[in-house]
Amino acid sequence: MSKVALHPPKIKICGLTQVENAIEVASAGVDAIGLVFYQPSPRFVDISIASEIVRNLPPFVDSVALFVNATKDEIQRVIDTVRPGTLQFHGDEGADFCASFGLPYLKSLGVTQEIDLIEYGLTYSSACGLLLDAPATDVRGGSGRTFDWQLIPDNISKPIVLAGGLDVANVGSAMQAVKPWAVDVSSGVESNQKGYKDIGLVGQFVKEVKDADARRVSNL
């Protein structure tokens, strides 16, 4: 499989922390929302709030639970309580560990010149996709930093979820360069408060994705 997507890219908004805000975001034309279960993150969400968010999602909007080197028991507790549709691993978790929960999972990777993305895709062959992000800082994800999209080869064996510093201004260019299966944004649709998404920015982001895809289709 090449990295070229033949459908409109899916849109994931990550780092929701409040029930009402999450429901607004989920109703704004997105395909998935992300819930961060990593306590050092400013977008960490309590398990009880996450459970209420998932219970109130509209039809066909997926919920993605994000972990960083969590224990098996911690992850299983989130699965049993929140019932996410997909798991997302941002740490050093091995493929067997990620696959052991019986749910679809994404494996995140900070992209650098030194990493062989082809080999990485083969190593995590059980993943439903690879989430490609900027290299990690002290707190994983939501850094607002981009990376060099030209480092992504055309023949990765897994669908690509593109993250890392995406926003209204650059998502169109990112889609043209990478042609990902999905795009993932967190800080790029926040105005002031981390974990609270600006619905106006979410709407603009969704529009930019759709407009960029319309341009792609018109050039086929």
Residues assigned a catalytic role? 14, 133
N- to C-terminal Cα separation, the chain = 19
Burial 63-91 (b: 16+ CB within 10 A, else e): bbbbbbebeeeebeebeeebebebbbbbe
One-letter amino acid at 104 equals P
